[in-house]
Amino acid sequence: MKPQRGKTPRKRNANSPFQEPVEVYCRLRPLDDPNEPACAKPLSNSVVQLTPSDNAVVRNGQVKEYQYTFQNVFDEFSSQKAVFDRTALPLVEDLVAGKNGLLFTYGITGSGKTYTMTGVPQDQGILPRCLDVLFNSIGELQSKKYVFKPDRMNGFEVQTEADAMLERQKKDIMPNLTTPSKTPSKRPESGDIERIMDPTAVGSVEDDNCYAVFVSYIEIYNNYVYDLLDDLPYNPITGYKPPQTKILRTDSSDNMYVHNCTEVEVKQPQDAIDVFYKGQKRRKVAHTTLNAESSRSHSVFNIRLVQAPLDGKGEEVIQDSDEEAYDSDRICVSQLSLVDLAGSERTNRTKNSGDRLKEAGNINQSLMVLRTCLEILRENQTAGNSKLVPYRDSRLTHLFKTFFDGDGKVRMIVCVNPRFTEYEETIHVMKFAEMTQEVLITKSVSNNKFDMGLTPGRRRLHQHQIENGRLEEEMAPHRPQIDFSIGPPFPLLELVTPTDDLTICNIGLCLDERLRRRQLMILDYEQSCAEFRAQLVDFEKDYNSLRNKCSELEERAAMREKEASRIESKNRSLERKLEEMSRVLKDLEKENQLLGLQVQDKAWKIQVEKNAKEKLRSDYKSRLQMNNQAWEKNMEKTRRQMEIEAENQLDERDRKLDMLRDIVNEQDAVVATPRTRSRAGQNPTPKPRTHTTPASIQSARSEIDMSSIGASTIASSARAAAAGRAGNTRVPPRSAVRIPAAKSIPNLSQVGLTPTTSKSRQPVVNPRYHRRSKSSGNAEVWLEHKPVDCVDTNTLMQPKMTKKKSVSKLDVKDTKSASKYVLTHQEQDSSDELVTKLVKGDVIKTPSGGSAVVFNDVETLRRLSPGTRKRRSPTTPMYDPEMEWTDTEDRCSTAVEGHKRSKTTNL
C-alpha cells in the first residue's frame, strides 16, 4: 500500500469580490519612568496621538500633532491575554478551519516586539498561547506520530498505522533503549520557571478529521535564510560547523517555502515550546546602545496543521485501499507564520561599527523593500496599475509573497516606544502602518470540509462501540448466574377421563413443592438482603476509610511532586551552573595553555637575546683587542714617520746653512781680494771651491731671499767665515759654525724654498697609509651620499660616523661643512647576494672656492647565510694587519680588493 502525498491547497482567487484590508494593531510600551512625559498616547480604543517635544523644530511657531487610526490600540496597561485574544486568536481559528495566516510585529529597536511575540513564562506572549489554544482544540483528535510525514517539498505523505509504528520504533523507542538515560527527562530549553498555560479552545474543529501539528523555525540574517533547527555536524577538533544557508522555492501550487527545512512533529504544547527555545539559542542577538539584547535577524516560526478525514469505520486516516483514488483534495495543510521583525536603527544613534553596522544596514534594507512592495500593491489596487512588485529584492518579502498575493489573512502589530527621543523614527513607523491598512488581501476559503459520502459522526460511533465492548467484557465475569425456576416443571395437565385422580394428584404435589420452594426463596431473599445491607454498611465504612487514605496519599503525592519539582528545578540550576563552571574552566585552561606558550616563547626569546649578547660581547672584546693592536702598530708607524720627518728637517736645515755659509764665504772672498793685493803687493792664490760651485751658488742666491734673513745671523756667519779665512783657508767644520736657534731659522714656506733632497735621503710617502692618527682631536664631519632606493642590509658591523649628514642628491653647499665623504653603491654578485660598497674619501677645499674629493678607500659589506658560505680561494688576498683602518670602528667585513687608487673629483 503506497503512501500518498498532499500539497498545501492553493486558495487564491484574484477576481473574488471578497477582500479585506491588512489589519494593523498598535501597542504602546510602558515607560521605564512613569513620571516621564510621553510623545504617544491613546485617545480612544482605535486612535493614537503623537506630540513632539518642546524642543522640536516647528513651523509657524505652532506644534503640529498627528493622529493615527488602527483596528485596535493597546495602551501600556493592556495584558498579553488581551492582545492575544484580539489579534492572534482569530488566526488560530482560521488555522483549525484550514486557512493560512500571517502575523508580524513591526517597530523600531527596543519597542517591545520580542516581548509581545514570546513574553515570559509567567505572562506568555502570542506564540506560546497560539500553541496552547491549538492543542486544547485538537487534543483528542490527533493522529499517531509519523502517520503524516513531510516530504521536504512543502507537502505531506500519509502512511499506514503499521508503517508509522515501525518508524516510531526506529526513531523514538530504539534510541532510548540503546542509550538509556540515568537522569529523569527534563526540559532545559523552556527554562526553570513553570509556564502558565492558556486554557482557551476553539470550537470549529471537525470531529471526523485526524490532525497533526508540525513546527519549523528559521531566521533571515543579512538577507540569508538559516534553519535554526538544523542539526549541525560536530568535529572534535574544529567544533560545530557553521550553518548552511537555505534557498527559497515554489511548490506545485505556487506557494513559497524554504527548501529542505527541518519540520518537527509535536504532540503537546511543551514539545513545541522546547523546539522554539532550541532555535532561540542559535538566533543572532547582540548588545547595542539602545537595547541590551537586540535582534539582529528576522525570525519566522511556522505552525503547520495537517488534517485528513477518517475512513468509514472511524479508525484510521483514509487510505487508497479504502477508496479508488486519493488526491490532494483529501488532505488540508494550513499554516500560521509568526514573524518577529528586527527593529530599524539609525547609525547616528546606535554608533554601530563593524558587524553591527552591516547587520543594521541589511535590516533597514529589508524593511525598506517590504514598505516598497506594500506601496506598489496599494498603488496597483487603487489606481488600477500593473506594476511589478519587487518581492525578490529581499528574502523576507519573497518568502511571504504568497500571503500578499491573497493566500491568507495578514495582520500586523505596530509596537511603539513613547519616549520623546524616539519621536522621529516613530513617525515613520506610523506612516508605514497607515499605508499598510490600505492594502487589500483576498479572503481565503475554508478547505477542511471533505465531502466523500461517508457517514458523519463515525469517530464518535467508533468510540462508543469501543466503550460498550469494553464495558461488556468488564461486567461479564462479575455477573451472577441466577436460576429463575422456583420448582419442578409442571406435569402433564391433560385429563383423559373425569376419574383421572393421578394427574390431579401430581398437579397438587407439584404446586405444593413450588409453594414450599417459594417460601424458602423468600426466606433466603430476606436473609440475603440483610447480609447485603450489612455488607453495604461495611463497604461504606471501608470506602470512607479508603477515601481518607486516598486523600492522604494524594496529599503526600502532591507534596512529593512539589518536592520533586523543587529538587528538579534545583538540579537544573546546579547543572546549569556546572555547565557554566565547566565552560569557564575550559576557557581558563585554554588561557593558561596560551599563557604557558607565551611564557615559553618569551623565555626562548630571552635566551636567544642572552646568547646574542654574549656573542656580541665576545666579538666586541676580540675586536677591541685587535683594534688596540692595530692602533699600537699605527702609533709605532707614526712615530717612525715623525722621526724620519724630523731627520729630514734637520738635514734640510743643515743644507740651507751650508748654502748660507758658502754664500757668505764667497762674498768675503770677493771683498778681501783687493785688500790683499794692496797690502802684499802680489796676487793671492785663489781659494779652491770644493764645497760649492758658482752654478750652485748662483742658484742658491736666486732661491734665497736675503732680505728675509736676519742681519745678526748673516753677521755671525760672516764673522765665522772671516775667522776661518784668517786662520786657515779651509772651511771650518760643521761644529765650528754656530747654528742659530730654532725660532730664528725661517720656515721653508717663509723663505720660498722647495726641498730638492735626493731620493736616497727622503722616502716616498703614501698619504693613504701614512696619515694623521684617528685619535686626534679634530672632529670629522661625514657627508653620506646615499641613493633613495638603497636597501638596508642590516649587517652586524656598520660604519661608525659620529657626525653625519645624509643626502640623496649632492650639492656644493653640502660639502662646505664636511671633511669626509662616503658614497653608498649596491649591486648583486654572482651568487645573487646583495653587496654594498662604501667608497670613502677626503673633502679638500680648492683655491676657486669649491671642494674636491680624494677617494682613498672602498669598504665592502655583504651578508652571507651560514649554509651558503663558500671556501676562500687561495688566490684571495688575506687581510694585512699592517694596513691602516679606514674608520675608527673595527670592521670585520672590510675587504681589500686589489690596489687602492686615489681619485680626485671636482665638485
Closest CA to 784 of 885, 853, 863: 853
- Residue 861 gets which letter from DSSP? E
- All three cell numbers of 874: 687561495
Distance CA 769, CA 886 (A): 10
Is 707 assigned to a binding site? no
Is 41 assigned to a binding site? no
Residue where the block lists cell 493615527: 68
Is 487 assigned to a binding site? no
DSSP annotation string for 720-732: HHHHHHHH-SSPP
In this structure, are residues 191 and 569 in contact, taking their beta carbons and an 8 Å threshold? no
Residue type, 807: V
Distance CA 155, CA 5 (A): 7
Closest CA to 95 of 214, 250, 244: 214
- All three cell numbers of 477: 465475569
Is 160 assigned to a binding site? no
Phi, psi of 232 (to 5 degrees): -85, 135
Phi, psi of 511 (to 5 degrees): -65, -40
Rg (C-alpha) for the chain, rounded Å, is 61
372: left (phi over 0), alpha (psi -120 to 50) or beta: alpha
- Collapse the DSSP code of 775 into the 3-class scheme (helix H, G, I; strand E, B; otherwise coil) and give the result: coil
In this structure, are residues 307 and 331 in contact, taking their beta carbons and an 8 Å threshold? yes
Is 888 assigned to a binding site? no
Cβ neighbours of residue 181 closer than 8 Å, sequence gap 6 or more: none
In this structure, are residues 429 and 39 in contact, taking their beta carbons and an 8 Å threshold? no
CA count, 13 A, side-chain hemisphere, 804: 11
Residue type, 278: K
Is 449 assigned to a binding site? no
In this structure, are residues 808 and 786 in contact, taking their beta carbons and an 8 Å threshold? yes
Long-range contacts of 795-802 (CB under 8 A, 24+ apart): 795/861, 795/862, 795/863, 795/893, 796/619, 796/892, 796/893, 797/861, 797/889, 797/890, 797/891, 797/892, 797/893, 798/861, 799/838, 799/859, 799/887, 799/889, 799/891, 800/887, 800/888, 800/889, 801/887
- Collapse the DSSP code of 136 into the 3-class scheme (helix H, G, I; strand E, B; otherwise coil) and give the result: helix
Is 690 assigned to a binding site? no
Neighbours of 61 (CB within 10 A): 5
Is 112 assigned to a binding site? yes
Q: Which residues are annotated as a binding site for ATP?
A: 107-114
Output the known binding site.
Answer: 107-114
